[in-house]
Structure 1
Amino acid sequence: MTRNLYTCLLYLLLPFTPLKLLWRGRKQPEYLAHWRERYGFYHLAVQQPVIWLHCVSVGETRAAEPLVKALLGQYPQHQLLLTHTTPTGRATSEQLFGTRVTRVYLPYDVPFAVNRFLKYFSPSIGILMETELWFNLIAGCQQRNIPLVLANARLSEKSALGYQKLGKVLTEGLQSLSKIGAQTEADAGRLKQLGAQEINITGNIKFDVAPQKEAYDLAKQLRTQLGVNLGAGRPVFLAGSTRDGEEALIIEAVRQANIPHLLSIIVPRHPQRFDEVAELLRKSNLAFLRRSNLSQTNCEAKDLNSVSYLLGDSMGEMFTYYATCDAAFIGGSLLPFGGQNLIEACSMGKPVLIGPHTFNFEEAAQMAVIAGAACRVQNVTELAQTLQSLFNQDEQRQAMGEASLQFSERNRGATEKTLNLIKAYI
C-alpha cells in the first residue's frame, strides 16, 4: 500500500466519521464535545514553544504520567500539549495534570486536518506513545522538520503481522520517525523486521508510574466502609479492567471458589459498560453496591453482610482498588483481548492473576510469572482453584505480594532513558 492509496481510503471513510461520533455519543455524550478538533479546528492560545505528546486513551495517558511530570519539570519554558483520541483519555489527562498541560483531540489522519493541527501548534517535537502510527501525521511532521519520536513502543506478534500487510506505507512511516524507544528487545526486533531503523531499548515507562498519594487513604476508607458489621479480615478479590464477556466468567469462578465472606470488586475497563455490568449482577441475583453510590448514608441503610460485590464504576481509582484488594485478576486476558496492564497491581505489592491471553503485554506478563509475582490461569476452573489456594494460604499470598514489589522496583528507570532519547530535539 502506498500513502496515496492509504489517504484515498481515509477520505472515503471521512464522511462517515460524524455518524460514528453520533453513534458513540449515544452511550457516551462526551464524544459530541470538541468534535471540531477532530477535523483540525482549534481555538486555544499558544504562548510558548510546544512539546506535543500523543496518548490515545486511558492506558497510554496513565503510562505517560512519569514522562509528563518529568517534561513539566525539565522544560518549564515550554507548553506541554497532550492529544487524545477518546473522551476517557482526555478525562484522565484532566484528573492527572489539571491545568498544567493543554489537551485537545488529535485530528483524523487526513492531510487537511493534520496540516491544520501542525500549523496551529507548530510543536518543537512530537512524541507518540506506544504503537500510534498515523502515516499522514508522520509525513506532515517530516515535511515541516518536526522531530517525531515513538516512545514506550510495543509491538506484539499479532500486531506485527497486521502491520506487515500495509507494506510500503508502513516502512516509509517507520523510517521517517526520528527515534524509537522500544520497551523490550522483542519489540525492537519486530519493529526492525518491519523497516524501523533508529531504535533504542528504553524499557517500559509504566514501571515508573507511582500510585497517587491519596490512594492508600482512600483504600483504607473504602475497606472501612465495606467492612462495617463484617468483622476484621474480610478477604477482598479484585477483577480489574475486565472486558465484555469476562464479568460472567469472573462471577462463575468466584461461585466455584466458594470462599467464605469474600468481597469481589469488578472494575470494567470501559465506563460505557458500567450499567451493563450492573445489570448482569442484578440478573445474577447478587447483592452489590456501586462505588459511585457508596457513602456513609448508604452503608448505614444497607445490610452489608449480604453485599458480596462492589462495582467499580469510578474513573481514576485503579490504584485505590488495588490497594483495597488482597489479590487481583487482570482483565482482558481470560478472553482473547490481549490483556491489560499488570504493572500497577505489581507496584502495589499484590498477588496478580492473569489469563492465557496476554499478547498485548506478553513480555511483562512472562517476566512477572517468572518472578513469582503473577500466576497464569487457563480458564474459569483454574481461576477458582487459584483463588481458593491464595485465600487459604496467607504465606503464599504474602510471598507473591513481596515478589510483585521486587519485580516492579527492578524494572524502573525507563522515564530517564526516554528523556535522554528526546532531549537532543528540544
Structure 2
Amino acid sequence: MRVLYSLMWWLALPLVLTRLWLRGRQEPGYRQHWGERLGFYGRATPAAGPVLWVHAVSVGETRAAEPLIDALLAEYPQSRIILTHMTPTGRATGKALFAKHGERLQQSYLPYDTGSMVSRFIRHFQPQVCILMETEVWPNLIAVCNARSVPVVLANARLSERSLRKASRLGALLLNAARGISLVAAQTDADARRIRSLGVERVEITGSIKFDVVVPEAALAIGAALRSAIGQRPVLLCASTREGEEELILSAFTAARAALPADILLLIVPRHPQRFDEVEKMIAAHGLQVQRRSQLALEGGQLQADVLLGDSMGEMFAYYAACDVAFVGGSLQPLGGQNLIEPAALGKPVLIGQHTFNFELVSEDALAAGGAQRITDAADLMSAAAHLLNDSSARAAMGQNALSFANQHRGATRRTLALLKDLV
C-alpha cells in the first residue's frame, strides 16, 4: 500500500506544483522555497546541539505549538528546533512568534511525503525526535523516521469521529503508519480512545496545549492601541470567519441595527488572507463603511467606519483584546469551528455556532462553564451580541466564567514535556 501511495505522489507531483503556482497568484508565499518542499536544503551545517523537529502545518497548529516550543528550548538549552509548515501563513506566523529565539529555531517547509524527499530532510537536519502537532500523520515520513530510529510523537493530538471514519477508509496504509508512532499525547479521553483504535500502542492524555498559551505583551499593546483608536464604541468581533459566513453575518448585522448599540463597531477577521479583498467588497455591497486594519493609523483620530476588516497577520490576540464580545467563526457553516481558547484566556464572552465538531469537548466544556453561548444562526448571533453589549453585568460575568474556564485547564505543556523526556 505504501509503494502505491508513493507512486501516486510522484504521478500527482506535476499537478501539485501547478496548483502551488496558481495559489501563488493570491498568496506569493506559495511560490517561494520550492526546494524545501522537494527535499533540497543546500549544504548542511553541523548542528551545535541536538535538533528537535516540530511540524505545525498552518497557523492554528503553529500558534498551538508556541508553549511547547518555548518549553523545549528552555528544558534543553543546548538544543535547537527545526520547525516545519505546509502553508505560507503558518510560516509567517512562526516567524512572528519565534523571532525571539534567534538562531535556535529554523523554519522550513515539510517535504512532500515521498521516501526520498523525507530521507533528504532527515539526513540534512538529523533530528533526534519528530513531533507532529495535532492530527498530522504521513505514512512515508513515519516509515523513514522508524528506519532511521527517529521517534515520532503526535502532540496535542485530536481525532474527531468524522476524521476517524475518513482514516478508516485508508485501511492498512494509515494503520501501519499509526503503529509507527512512538507516543501520542492526546487532548481528551475521547481523542485517546479513537487514536488507540488505529493501533497506536502508547497513548497518554495530557489536555490541550492551547490552554497554556501566554498572551504576548506586544499583542496586548497593539490591542490597547486599537481600542484607543476605536474609542468607547462597543465592539463585536467575528473571528476566523470562513467562506459563506461573512455574507450571513453582514445581512444579519444590517437587519439587527435597531437592537444593537447605535455606535457598534463590527470587526471581521477572515481566517484566510486571500479572501481579504473579497470580504471588503462584500461589506461595501451591504452599504456599510469599511476600514481596513492595514490602513488604520493607531495614533490620533477616531475610527468612524461601521466595519473594521482585520486584514493583518499575527494580530488575533490584539483583536480579541480590543473587543467586547467574540464570535468564533467556522461554526455558522458545517466547517467544524475554530479554537475558542484564545478569547476565553482574555476573559471575553464567547459566542459559537452549531458546528463545532473539530473542537467538540472544549466547546462543550466552555458552554458548561458559562463562558460561551451557542447560537443557532446569524440572526441569533446578533440577538445574543445585542443582549451582552447592552448588559454590562451579564457581559462581565460571562467573561469571568470564560477566564476561569481557561485557567482551570492549564498544564498540558508540562505533562507533554514529562512524556518527551524518555525520547529526547
* TM-score normalised according to structure 2 size: 0.96
Q: Deviations over 1:349-398 (max 9, x none)?
A: 00000001111111111110011010011112211211121122221111
Q: Tell me if structure 1 keeps the 8 A contact 2:251–2:286.
A: no
Q: Tell me if structure 2 keeps the 8 A contact 1:334–1:357.
A: yes
In 1, Cα distance between the equivalents of 2:277 and 2:46? 40
The SS at the match of 1:310 is: strand
Indicate the residue corresponding to 2:325 in structure 1. Answer: 327
Amino acid at match of 1:8: L
Q: State whether structure 2 residue 48 is matched by structure 1 residue 45.
A: no
The SS at the match of 1:40 is: coil
In 1, Cα distance between the equivalents of 2:303 and 2:157? 45
Indicate the residue corresponding to 2:130 in structure 1. Answer: 126
In 2, Cα distance between the equivalents of 1:362 and 1:374? 13
What pairs with 1:166-177 in structure 2 (closer than 5 Å)?
166-177=170-181
In 2, Cα distance between the equivalents of 1:346 and 1:206? 11
Moved over 6 A (4+): none
Indicate the residue corresponding to 1:276 in structure 2. Answer: 278
The SS at the match of 1:341 is: coil
Indicate the residue corresponding to 1:230 in structure 2. Answer: none
What pairs with 1:262-341 in structure 2 (closer than 5 Å)?
262-295=264-297, 300=301, 304-305=303-304, 307-341=305-339
Q: Tell me if structure 2 keeps the 8 A contact 1:257–1:387.
A: no
Indicate the residue corresponding to 1:92 in structure 2. Answer: 93
Indicate the residue corresponding to 2:233 in structure 1. Answer: 234
Q: CA deviation at 1:296?
A: 5.5
In 2, Cα distance between the equivalents of 1:109 and 1:341? 28
The SS at the match of 1:26 is: coil
Q: Tell me if structure 2 keeps the 8 A contact 1:256–1:384.
A: no
Q: Tell me if structure 2 keeps the 8 A contact 1:37–1:104.
A: yes
The SS at the match of 2:406 is: helix
Q: 1:385/1:137 Cα in 2 relative to 1: closer, same or farther (>3 Å)?
A: same
In 2, Cα distance between the equivalents of 1:320 and 1:218? 6
Amino acid at match of 1:56: V
Indicate the residue corresponding to 1:9 in structure 2. Answer: 8
In 1, Cα distance between the equivalents of 2:402 and 2:353? 17
Q: 1:210/1:296 Cα in 2 relative to 1: closer, same or farther (>3 Å)?
A: closer
The SS at the match of 1:420 is: helix
In 1, Cα distance between the equivalents of 2:19 and 2:215? 35
In 2, Cα distance between the equivalents of 1:380 and 1:16? 38
The SS at the match of 2:401 is: helix
The share of aligned pairs that are identical, in percent, is: 50
Indicate the residue corresponding to 1:110 in structure 2. Answer: 114
Query: Which of 206, 218, 221 in structure 1 is aligned with 2:222?
Result: 218
The SS at the match of 1:425 is: coil
Q: Tell me if structure 1 keeps the 8 A contact 2:66–2:213.
A: yes
Q: CA deviation at 1:46?
A: 4.0
Q: CA deviation at 1:304?
A: 4.2
The SS at the match of 1:109 is: coil
Query: Which of 410, 415, 418 in structure 2 is aligned with 1:417?
Result: 415
Q: CA deviation at 1:215?
A: 2.4
The SS at the match of 2:336 is: coil
Q: Tell me if structure 2 keeps the 8 A contact 1:57–1:90.
A: yes
Q: Tell me if structure 1 keeps the 8 A contact 2:235–2:325.
A: yes
Q: State whether structure 2 residue 194 is matched by structure 1 residue 190.
A: yes
Of residues 84-93 and 390-399 in structure 1, the stretch that sits farther from structure 2 once superposed is: 390-399
Amino acid at match of 2:161: E
In 1, Cα distance between the equivalents of 2:60 and 2:314? 11
In 1, Cα distance between the equivalents of 2:63 and 2:276? 20
In 2, Cα distance between the equivalents of 1:416 and 1:63? 14
Indicate the residue corresponding to 2:391 in structure 1. Answer: 393
Q: Tell me if structure 1 keeps the 8 A contact 2:225–2:298.
A: no
* TM-score normalised according to structure 1 size: 0.95
Structure 2 portions without partners, runs of 5+: none
Q: 1:69/1:26 Cα in 2 relative to 1: closer, same or farther (>3 Å)?
A: same
Q: CA deviation at 1:245?
A: 1.1
Q: Deviations over 1:233-271 (max 9, x none)?
A: 321100000001111111122223321111010001011
In 1, Cα distance between the equivalents of 2:158 and 2:379? 31
